Amino acid sequence: MACPVMKDPDRYLATRERSFVVGLVKRWVEERAVRRCLRDLPDLRTVCDAPSGPGRLFHLWKKLGFAVTGVDLSAPMLGEAERRLTRLGHPGEVRLGDAFSLRQSLPEGADLVSCVRFAYYFDEGDRVRLLASLAAASHRFVLVQYKTIETPRGLRNRRRAAAREGADLFSNKRFCTIEGIAAEFRRAGLVLRRHGFIGRSSDRVFALAEKTSRPAPLVPSADRLWSPVAH
């Protein structure tokens, strides 16, 4: 299974935020989890949102003061993302590109690479490939949203699916434990630093990782000093 390249930004946004109030609440709890993960991190100035879709999270990057680069494989999604940036009056740009080879579309890198509503479309091996690609495009931090069985909602969803499939609770590797996420990160050269559950009634968790080694020199050469990661 893979994530489809989505063509209809309006439809995508309508399904995410079914009503104004539901949309507001979902946005608030999601933002709270992201903010918890990013609290007090040093030197964050740029974020690459990959895949950005229609730029659903751009308002948050603006609030946090990060210049944004949105990357997606869908031109219609990027069209909406670009309109959003203009409406927000926020510095940034969008680029057509593949999250699995992110550095190709982001050779200069970003302080934070964020990947939301995407990783759980893939099996473990592909997720590790994805993480390695995100890490290669990041100067230091990677933020990934996962599905987890470690919330009441996640456990319930997974139990129901397992009953339908006649499988056991842990057979579906798309619902991860925090320990499993940490192990995947390690395989991709990342170390899990923090995680933030969206809430009891969500099956999602944000996981923040840091690169375990200094990045290979990026092109064009960056003019900042990279702090080595503490182990």
Ligand X SMILES: C[S@@+](CC[C@H](N)C(=O)[O-])C[C@H]1O[C@@H](n2cnc3c(N)ncnc32)[C@H](O)[C@@H]1O
CB of 92 to ligand X, least distance (A): 15
Q: Nearest residue by C-beta to ligand X?
A: 53
Please answer whether residues 67 and 45 qualify as being in contact, where contact means their C-beta atoms are separated by less than 8 angstroms: yes
Is 77 one of the binding residues for ligand X (CB under 6 A)?
Answer: yes
Q: Cα(202)–Cα(213) distance, rounded to whole angstroms?
A: 33
Q: Which of 200, 114, 209 is nearest to 149 (CA)?
A: 200
Is 72 one of the binding residues for ligand X (CB under 6 A)?
Answer: yes
Q: Which of 61, 118, 120, 197 binds ligand X (CB under 6 A)?
A: 118
Is 5 one of the binding residues for ligand X (CB under 6 A)?
Answer: yes
Torsions phi, psi of 214, nearest 5? -65, 145
Q: Which of 69, 74, 148, 202 binds ligand X (CB under 6 A)?
A: 74
Task: List the structure tokens of 134.
Answer: 């995100």
Q: Which of 23, 59, 100, 108 binds ligand X (CB under 6 A)?
A: 100
Name the residue nearer to ligand X (CB basis): 51 or 154.
51
Q: Which of 51, 92, 154, 196 binds ligand X (CB under 6 A)?
A: 51
Angle at 185 between CA 182 and CA 188, to 5 degrees: 155
Torsions phi, psi of 48, nearest 5? -110, 120
CB of 97 to ligand X, least distance (A): 7
Is 116 one of the binding residues for ligand X (CB under 6 A)?
Answer: yes
Q: Which residue has the tokens 């399904």?
A: 15
Is 99 one of the binding residues for ligand X (CB under 6 A)?
Answer: yes
Q: Which of 98, 108, 124, 126 binds ligand X (CB under 6 A)?
A: 98
Q: Cα(182)–Cα(172) distance, rounded to whole angstroms?
A: 17
Question: Residue 220: what residue type?
Answer: P
Residues near ligand X (CB under 6 A) are 3, 5-6, 51-53, 56-57, 72-74, 77, 98-100, 116-118
